[in-house]
Structure 1
Amino acid sequence: MIKFFSVLCLVFMLSANALTAQNFSTHQVKKGETVHGIATQYGVSIADIYALNPDAKKELKANSILIIPISKANKPTVTIVKELQGFKEHKTSKKETLYSIAKQYDVTEDDIKKHNTFLYANTLKKGDKLQIPVFKITKEEPKAATKTYIVLPKEGKWRVAYKFGITVQELEALNPQMGETLQEGQQIYVPNITGDAVKNVDEKYSYYSVLPKEGFYRLKLKLGLDQQELEALNPELKETGLKEGMVLKIPFSNKMTEDSGVALSKTNLGNRIKNYETKHIAVMLPFRLNRVNFDSLPDIKNSIKKDPYLNASLDFYTGVLTAIDSLKSLGISLKVDVYDTNYQVSEVSKLINDNNFKELDAVIGPLTPDTFDKVASELLPYHVPVVSPIGTNLTLYENVFQSRPSDDLLKGKLIDYVKTDTLASNIVVISDAKNATVANELKQAFGSAKMVYSRKGKTGNDLNFLYAEDVRSVLKPGRNYVFLETQNEGFVSNVASVLSSLNNSSANELILVTTNFNAAFEGEQVSNDHLSKLQLHFATTTKSYDDITDGVFVKNYSKTYNTIPSKRAIKGFDLTMDVVLRLASSKDLYMSVKNAPLTEYVENKFAYKKKLLGGYYNDAIYIVKYSDLAIVEVK
């Protein structure tokens, strides 16, 4: 009985769609066409067209698609095509007329006049010699305006609308019985276009459906893209303009998905491995082994101490090796080529010329900006992804993955965090002269913020201290966020001490924040007790692995190297795990951006977004705070 009911529903659905096909058609507007002409062509009224296509009232744009109510329309006539093949000569007799001659040769009077131009100014006379055109006549049946389409797996209305260059509303007008959501295998009607006219949905991008009354200005505010940028991704916009329901291709955004508004959840790629083919990656680091003295163990240790690049490279590489062991335990086959860049662009060029980098699945490194830029630009034509472990001010070529979030992103995320706190009653900004620019940015972000600057000496120089009264005068009862912007350890110590004394008042709750957590906040002069009492908040690219309950990495690392891992070693581990697991769970690193919006490992998390006409940058950061003399993530 249930099976019979399901079949019955399917038959009804297909019947409803068949009825729809008889009720509506589509027309792609050609340059120079008018609504009046189109209405005449289909035998419908202008009002009928406007009822289904309200945007046509404002402007009829070339290549836009109109819905035509063909239940009211006359069937478009067959098009007659005449191709000139040659001429016959005809000498007129006394009683012949232009009409009778045209009738005799099955042509029109205009056809005869066109090839005998003297007839435009003179009447036909006996003895006139005429050139009668001979045509090859063909008839072109009108092309069906719609065709059937079978819905593919996971295909929603916006995907189908985008493919066939219509709005969601126009798709619904063609298929009024198709329901709220599309089902795999469902038969619907779409414009009868084929080949290159059908657009592909590129998973490397996101897509946005234009809302009612949205113009380019509103889209600039919402998407951060101006008209020129939108037209570069959607060339048809130059012809059709914006329309309600139009689907636009935009740079990939984790927020612009069909489930927009839902918070991102972490993806455990270890449970999604589906590609067990051998992954081939390269690791490029500035070991500068040509400078190492290998004569004895003390000489080697001394070389490591003296060369910061070798020290950093070895730290990072130990994390890479630990990750390789972990990946093998997951059954992943991996081939890793390790190259010493010597911190020289010329060496990088030589390495690329002497080795086959074209077939690599990914490159991790180099660490330094110039050498990284050289590798990324050289491998761009081959679409080989190059992942930067530490760089931020990079040229984001299409193949670049910037794994470290930028300082501007950290600043923006912290400001957004403070703005979302509904209990905040007051914002105070404390800074020295060197950070006046940042202080002004904060003033713009928080219009009512109170500004406090370091005391000045007689020559106008910063004394890097202030008095309690300087701050007390700008506080308000309730929660006060106090931004401290400085790189001076003494100033941090002074401000933390002053704020701690003022925080004892039951009327005030002071929370210290900074957009730039630097070495000054960790200096010996600064009291961690004060920072904890003030709950110092800041944005960071990493969090402490002490917060991770699963300490397998730390145990394995300590067992192998007889020491706890440094932050560089942890970054080497986290980044290698992420790159290889993305390769093992997706078609390639580019597709993994869509398939795994957010991943997290020991201290680092990765949520890549694509820059318009550029590469990928990591948008994932942590908001952390001092609490009980420890740094913990703010949940």
Structure 2
Amino acid sequence: MKRIKFLLVILLMCTINLVAQQKKYVSYTVKKGENMKSIAKDYKISTRDLLKLNPDIGRKPRPNTVIIVPNKNYGKNVTEGNEIDNYFYIVQPKETLFGISKKFNISIDALKKANPELEYGLKIGMQLKIPSTTENNVNDAANFILHTVVKDDTVYNLTKKYEVTESDLFELNPSLSEGLKLGMILKIKPINTSEILEDEVLTETGLFIENLNLEKTLNIAIMLPYELNKYVDSIPESTLLKGNSIFNIATDFHMGAEMAIDSLKRKGVIINVRYFDTQNSNYKLQTIVDRNDFSNTDVVIGPLFYNKAYWLSKNINVPIIAPLYSKDQDGLSAANLIKSDSNSPNFLEEKLLDYMKKNYKGENIIVINDGDEASQSKLWRIVNKIKSFDSIQNVSVIKSNKGFIDNEKFIEKLEEDSNNWVLLISEEIVTTAAAVNNLKATIEEYNIQLFASSKGRNFDNIENSFLGQLNFVFPTTDFIIIEDVNVKSFYNNFRAKNYTYPSKYAIRGFDITYDTLVRLASDESLEGGLKAGKSSRISGTFNYNKKLFGSFENNGVYIVQYNKELNPVIINE
């Protein structure tokens, strides 16, 4: 614990130094009587954008809290001698040219022209020169309401939603003359006219809004198998990352949870936490229950695996958070058990079909299957659900033969004058490759969009450029937007503490712990907090529903689409 706290202090100092060097943002000490809304007004940005800059700070920070604010002098009085320093950017892990160009509102061609070394590819740590013509654009986030274009957006709808004119929208966004594109970031109007609208938009979308009670003390317990270093029969090896022992998963989850707890403590939330080593043993769990009093515990996060979490829910009357998905959870429920991960194949399938049904407008639907006997029940279940869509015309089914798909038969099913939706129902690598190859050969002549109920390992060898051309759509319960400032901050903080980037389990530990505790701190009870709307964290999304006589279940899901710029974007609200 001492080591963790020491690393956090070092991390905070490094973060502040980094911000100071970039000079776009500076630190600010909150004064008595100030809140985020009044500070945002002073710096001429929206409260929402200020909260995004300070994800660990609530709307009413305590006096002497240090926050990050836009540098009022950024871009002003820049001399020829220091202009170059202000417009160099260090490439971060997993960044793309498209993401960087979007960040600074410039074209990829302009970036390549300013940085000839990009001819050999983009590399982590590379220092890029950002053309100085973007000086007036880098502060867009601080000066304008911004909107990221999603599916079904139209210029008309945007003008009505934000109460602006088309001429103003086109004047602020000249690229609109080429049409709306998924993932495009639009400037809507100056920030200082939108304080009321901002709160209205948040309310309408049903988002969870932090309203931390800093007088409330949270008493929590975290139960993980810290000492176990071997697999157990009840947990399929396929559910674990290659090379990871349960011990490594538990410790990664712990480090993520610790970061979440420390983040909330810096906001002023009072948290008492107890850690228990379950050793992944029912006997050990029984010992923990017998020797400890949980009557004043607000929530237990863990045990790590579902069968142990279910056992615990039957033996103590405390809300239990089950952190990881297990196929066992579909048949095991309890009133005090919260299923935080619903990453089941049936759940993802249901959410994809809901999306397709909602957006169906007479498209020609083709379903591709590997012909394997084990997948036939799933195939016809999905086909029958699709046939229930309103105004459905036809659903064609094509089965591969040992991975081979007859190109002529495939083309026969396509329609030249319609949009063709191709749904892949297979996890087989050969069938997936054959399907994509057939689609590649016809993409110039037909309007085609590819769907799948998950983006599994069968897509690992498929180039993103092809997926972008096919406008590939899939559902997922976890999705990371690398360009997001909060994501970058988390990655940098984790690396500073642990000298490595976080695993999926470390991110899971942060997401679940932060989301659970912030809901608990924002309501009188955890149940009330769970009902308070949907939220998105570093990777996960949370939207809880209470089953009748059963558990709370997380129904949060992202529908993701690859666009032609090869940038995956979230297209559901």
Band the TM-score falls in, shorter-chain normalisation? 0.5 to 0.7
Partner of 2:221: 282
Partner of 2:399: 453
2:309 and 2:404 map into 1 onto residues whose CA distance is: 42
**Matched ranges for 1:421-440 at <5 A:** 421-432=359-370, 433=372, 434-440=374-380
Cα distance per residue 1:434-453 (max 9 Å; x no partner): 32222101211122211111
Cα distance per residue 1:51-100 (max 9 Å; x no partner): xxxxxxxxxxxxxxxxxxxxxxxxxxxxxxxxxxxxxxxxxxxxxxxxxx
Gap regions ≥5 residues in structure 1: 1-258, 293-303, 456-462
Cα distance per residue 1:473-523 (max 9 Å; x no partner): 111232111111112112111111111111111xx211111113322122x
Indicate yes or no: 2:517 matched with 1:583.
no
Please state whether the residue corresponding to 2:511 is helix, strand or coil. helix
Distance 1:354 1:305, change over 3 A: farther
* Amino acid corresponding to residue 388 of structure 1 in structure 2: A
Indicate yes or no: 2:305 matched with 1:368.
yes
2:357 and 2:305 map into 1 onto residues whose CA distance is: 36
2:243 and 2:466 map into 1 onto residues whose CA distance is: 36
Distance 1:275 1:328, change over 3 A: closer
Deviation at 1:626, TM superposition (A): 2.3
Deviation at 1:323, TM superposition (A): 0.8
1:266 and 1:421 map into 2 onto residues whose CA distance is: 22
Partner of 1:106: none
2:471 and 2:351 map into 1 onto residues whose CA distance is: 17
Partner of 1:599: 535
* Amino acid corresponding to residue 282 of structure 1 in structure 2: A
CA contact (8 A) 1:424 1:481 kept: no
Please state whether the residue corresponding to 1:511 is helix, strand or coil. strand
Q: 2:322 aligns with which of 374, 384, 388?
A: 388
Q: 1:476 aligns with which of 397, 415, 421?
A: 415
Indicate yes or no: 2:511 matched with 1:565.
no
Partner of 2:249: 312
2:242 and 2:421 map into 1 onto residues whose CA distance is: 42
Deviation at 1:339, TM superposition (A): 1.6
Deviation at 1:263, TM superposition (A): 5.5
1:516 and 1:604 map into 2 onto residues whose CA distance is: 16
Distance 1:290 1:528, change over 3 A: closer
Cα distance per residue 1:571-627 (max 9 Å; x no partner): 111111111111111111112133x22122111121110101111001111000223
Q: 2:258 aligns with which of 302, 306, 321?
A: 321
Please state whether the residue corresponding to 2:286 is helix, strand or coil. helix
2:285 and 2:297 map into 1 onto residues whose CA distance is: 16
Q: 1:494 aligns with which of 417, 434, 439?
A: 434
1:290 and 1:436 map into 2 onto residues whose CA distance is: 38
Partner of 1:156: none
Distance 1:364 1:446, change over 3 A: same
Q: 1:532 aligns with which of 462, 465, 468?
A: 468
Larger Rg: 1
Please state whether the residue corresponding to 2:223 is helix, strand or coil. strand
CA contact (8 A) 1:276 1:331 kept: no
Distance 1:632 1:547, change over 3 A: farther
1:619 and 1:263 map into 2 onto residues whose CA distance is: 19
When normalised by structure 1's length, the TM-score is 0.52
Gap regions ≥5 residues in structure 2: 1-199, 232-240, 388-393
2:379 and 2:212 map into 1 onto residues whose CA distance is: 47
Please state whether the residue corresponding to 2:539 is helix, strand or coil. coil
Indicate yes or no: 2:314 matched with 1:377.
yes
1:367 and 1:346 map into 2 onto residues whose CA distance is: 15
1:440 and 1:391 map into 2 onto residues whose CA distance is: 26
2:364 and 2:242 map into 1 onto residues whose CA distance is: 48
* Amino acid corresponding to residue 278 of structure 1 in structure 2: T
Deviation at 1:361, TM superposition (A): 0.6
Deviation at 1:288, TM superposition (A): 2.3
Equivalences, count: 347
1:488 and 1:519 map into 2 onto residues whose CA distance is: 9
Please state whether the residue corresponding to 1:378 is helix, strand or coil. coil
Partner of 1:340: 277
Q: 1:612 aligns with which of 548, 552, 560?
A: 548
CA contact (8 A) 2:338 2:551 kept: yes
When normalised by structure 2's length, the TM-score is 0.57
CA contact (8 A) 2:229 2:247 kept: no
Partner of 2:194: none
Q: 1:626 aligns with which of 550, 562, 572?
A: 562
Please state whether the residue corresponding to 1:288 is helix, strand or coil. coil
Deviation at 1:558, TM superposition (A): 2.1
**Matched ranges for 1:143-542 at <5 A:** 264-269=205-210, 272-288=211-227, 308-379=245-316, 382=317, 384-392=318-326, 393-394=328-329, 395-407=332-344, 408-432=346-370, 433=372, 434-447=374-387, 448-455=394-401, 463-477=402-416, 478-505=418-445, 508-522=446-460, 524=461, 526-542=462-478
1:344 and 1:626 map into 2 onto residues whose CA distance is: 43
Q: Higher relative contact order at CA 8 Å, sep ≥6: structure 1 or structure 2? A: 2
Deviation at 1:549, TM superposition (A): 3.4
Partner of 2:480: 544
Distance 1:291 1:540, change over 3 A: closer
2:230 and 2:291 map into 1 onto residues whose CA distance is: 22
CA contact (8 A) 2:229 2:246 kept: no
Distance 1:307 1:498, change over 3 A: closer
Please state whether the residue corresponding to 2:226 is helix, strand or coil. coil
CA contact (8 A) 1:289 1:340 kept: no
Deviation at 1:289, TM superposition (A): 5.0
CA contact (8 A) 2:214 2:270 kept: no
* Amino acid corresponding to residue 452 of structure 1 in structure 2: I
CA contact (8 A) 1:390 1:404 kept: yes
* Amino acid corresponding to residue 226 of structure 2 in structure 1: F
CA contact (8 A) 1:404 1:618 kept: yes
Deviation at 1:547, TM superposition (A): 4.8
Please state whether the residue corresponding to 1:492 is helix, strand or coil. helix
**Matched ranges for 1:62-101 at <5 A:** none
CA contact (8 A) 2:306 2:324 kept: no
1:347 and 1:307 map into 2 onto residues whose CA distance is: 23
CA contact (8 A) 1:503 1:510 kept: yes
Cα distance per residue 1:507-549 (max 9 Å; x no partner): x211111113322122x3x333222211221110011131523
Please state whether the residue corresponding to 2:482 is helix, strand or coil. helix
CA contact (8 A) 1:286 1:367 kept: yes
